[in-house]
A and B are shown apart, each in its own frame.
Chain A
C-alpha cells in the first residue's frame, strides 16, 4: 500500500490523499461501533425488556427474559417505594447534593488560588511546590482515598481517637452512620481530589486574558476586588462554564468514593447512594432491564442538566 501511494504521488495530489482520512479513522470507528455504540444500543434495548437472573431457590438459578415490556421499567423507576420516595430522584438528589458540597468550596477556593497565583502584586513564591501538592490528590485512586477515609473515620479510627484524646469528643462519633457527616466526608474527599485541577484550569483562563486589560484597570485605579469582579470574572466566564459543566457531569457519575466509603450501601438510609451506585448495584444482581432504564435515565439527566446550565449561563451573559 505504501508503494502505491508513493508511485501516485507526483501526478495527482489532493484527490488521492483524501481516502487516507477514512483509513486513519477506521480503528476509531471500528472500536467505537463495537465497544461503545453497540453496547449503548444494547443498553437502550434492554431498558424496554424484563431481563434478570432469577435466583429461584426451588427451580434453580436461571435467566428470565428478555421479554419486551415497553416502558414498564421506567414506570417502576419513577414509582414511589414503600417509604413514599421515588428512589431514582432521591439518588439524583443525593448525587447533586454531594456534588454541591464538593463543588461550591472547590470553585471559591480554586478561584481564589488562581487569582493569588497569577497576582502581579503578591508574587507568590514556591508556586511549583504549591501546585504540585494541590494537584497530587488528583492522581491518587479514589478507591484508595475512600478506603483511607473509611479507616480514618471509623468508630475506632485515628480521627475519633484524636478528637477524644484532645477532649473534643466524649465518646466516638459514628462519622459513617450519619447523613451529614457521610455526605460531608464524600464532598471533602472529592474536594481534595479536584480543587488542584480546577485551580490550574482557571489559572490558564486568567493567564489567557490580555494583560493590557488588567493594566488599564490598574491605571483607572481599580482595586483588587473591583478588578476581579468587573474584569476577571466576566472574561473568565467561558472557561468557568467549561469547568462547571465538566465538574457537574463528573459529579453525576460519582461512584468510587461513596461506594468504598459506605461499602456500597450508601448509608445511612441510602442518603449517600448515587445514581451510578444504583446502576452498579442493579448490574450486580443482574437485573438488566432496570439497569438499562437507569442508564438511559442517567443519560437524560446529564443532557438536561448540561443544557440547563449552558442556557442559564449564556443567557446571563447577554443581560
Chain B
C-alpha cells in the first residue's frame, strides 16, 4: 500500500509523553470501532452468500422446515438435479453466457483500444470533433436505443443469435475513454515513430508494440466487459427466446417467474449458486488487478 510510507513520515513527529498515552488509548478505541464497522460490512456482504450456500445443500423438504443455518447433506443431489433437469439446460446456458461474455470482452477491449489509439496517435482533420463526439454519446443510456435495436435485429432476422450481443461491443465509448486516458499516460509517440523507422506497418505497430503496453488496461476492461456481459439481463431477455440460446440471467429470470409449487427449491438455490460461482472464482483469482483497475480509473457505475 502506497499510503503506509507517508504514514511513517507523519507519525515520526515527536509528541508529548502524557498526551501520547491518552492519544494512544483513543487510537485503540477508535481502531476497535473501525474494525467493528468493517466487520459489519463484511457481514452484510457475506451473510447472503452463506444462506445461499447453506440452502443449496438442503433438500426440498428440509427447506420447508425450520431454518437452522446448518448445512445439510443434499448438495450433490441438488447439483445433479439442477444440471439434469429437463426444464432448463443449465450447462448450455452457462456455455452461452461464457461465449458471449468472453467474445464481448475480446471484441470490446480490442476495438476500443484501436479507436483510442487512432485518436491518440494520429493528427487528422476533425480529430477534436470526433473525440468530443464520442465523449458526448457516452452519456446516452443504452436503453434509449433498445427499441430500435430490437427492431434492427428483427429486420436482420437476428433474434436468437448470440453474435448481436457481441458485435455492438466494437463501439463502446466508455471503454474507449478509459483506453484513451491510459494511452495518454503511458504511450510516448516516440515509440510509434521508432517502430515506423524499423519498417513496421501501422497495423503491426498497434498489434505488436502498443497492445502489449496496454495489457493492464486491456485486462481491467476485459474483466469489466466480461462481468457486464455475463450479468446482462436486459437485451438478452428481449432477444433470446430459444431454449438453447438463453444465457444464465435469462434462465434465472424465468425461474423466478415460474410457479413455486412446481419448482424444487433446493434446485433453484443450486441454480443461483452455479450462476455466480464461476464469476466469483474468476474475481477472487484476479481481485488484485480488478481492485487496482477500479482504483486507477473510471468505471461505469
Contacts and interface: CB of A to CB of B under 8 A. Distances in A.
A32 B204 contact: no
Contacts of B142: 253
B52 interface: yes
A22 B202 CA distance: 12
A170 interface: no
B124 A21 contact: yes
A308 interface: no
Contacts of A150: 256
Contacts of A207: 2-3, 295
A25 to B, nearest CB: 5
A1 B233 CA distance: 42
B171 A32 contact: yes
A120 B3 contact: yes
Interface string A102-142: 00000001001100101011111001101111111111111
Contacts of B51: 152, 158
B272 A148 contact: yes
A303 interface: yes
A299 interface: yes
A135 B286 CA distance: 12
Contacts of A171: none
Given A112-B37, A192-B45, A197-B294, A28 B111 contact: yes
B63 to A, nearest CB: 8
Contacts of B121: 20-21
Given A139-B283, A195-B41, A302-B141, A127 B1 contact: yes
Contact of B45 (A133, A247, A256, A298): A133
Contact of B257 (A118, A211, A249, A263): A263
Interface stretch (A72-80, A82-90, A289-297, A311-319): A289-297
A156 interface: yes
B182 interface: no
Given A150-B256, A158-B55, A306-B139, A256 B234 contact: yes
Interface of B: 1-4, 6-7, 9-11, 13, 27, 30-31, 34-35, 37-38, 41-42, 44-46, 48, 51-52, 55, 64, 66-67, 69, 111-112, 114-115, 117-119, 121-125, 127, 130, 134, 137, 139-152, 167-168, 170-171, 176, 196-197, 199, 201-204, 206, 227, 230-231, 233-234, 237-238, 248-249, 252-253, 255-257, 265, 268-269, 272, 275-276, 279-280, 282-284, 287-288, 290-291, 294-296, 298-301
B171 A35 contact: yes
A296 B255 CA distance: 32
A192 B49 CA distance: 12
Nearest to A112: B37
A4 B269 CA distance: 60
Nearest to B196: A9
A150 B269 CA distance: 11
- Chain A's interface: helix, strand, loop or mixed, by majority? helix
Contacts of B203: 2
B171 A148 contact: no
A9 B118 contact: no
A288 to B, nearest CB: 6
A5 B171 contact: no
B41 A109 contact: yes
A46 B147 contact: yes
12 contacts: A2-B201, A35-B171, A43-B145, A134-B45, A137-B45, A140-B231, A148-B48, A149-B48, A152-B51, A253-B143, A288-B147, A292-B147
Nearest to A156: B64
A188 B287 CA distance: 23
Nearest to A260: B256
Contacts of B268: 147, 151
Nearest to A161: B67
Nearest to B23: A121
A303 to B, nearest CB: 7
- Chain B's interface: helix, strand, loop or mixed, by majority? helix
A66 B176 CA distance: 36
B171 A28 contact: yes
A201 B294 contact: yes
A200 to B, nearest CB: 4
B67 A18 contact: no
Q: Which 9 A-B pairs have the closest CB atoms?
A: A39-B148, A21-B122, A42-B148, A246-B301, A141-B231, A24-B118, A32-B171, A161-B67, A21-B124
A122 B31 contact: yes
A187 interface: no
B48 A152 contact: yes
A291 B118 CA distance: 36
B221 to A, nearest CB: 14
Given A42-B147, A43-B146, A299-B141, 18 more contacts: A17-B122, A17-B196, A25-B119, A28-B111, A35-B167, A133-B46, A134-B45, A139-B227, A143-B249, A161-B66, A192-B48, A200-B291, A204-B295, A218-B13, A280-B237, A288-B147, A288-B151, A298-B144
A167 interface: no
Nearest to A282: B147
Contacts of A113: 38, 41
Given A35-B167, A192-B45, A276 B148 contact: no
Contacts of B237: 280
A224 B93 CA distance: 51
A97 interface: no
A203 B148 contact: no
A148 B249 CA distance: 13
B6 A194 contact: no
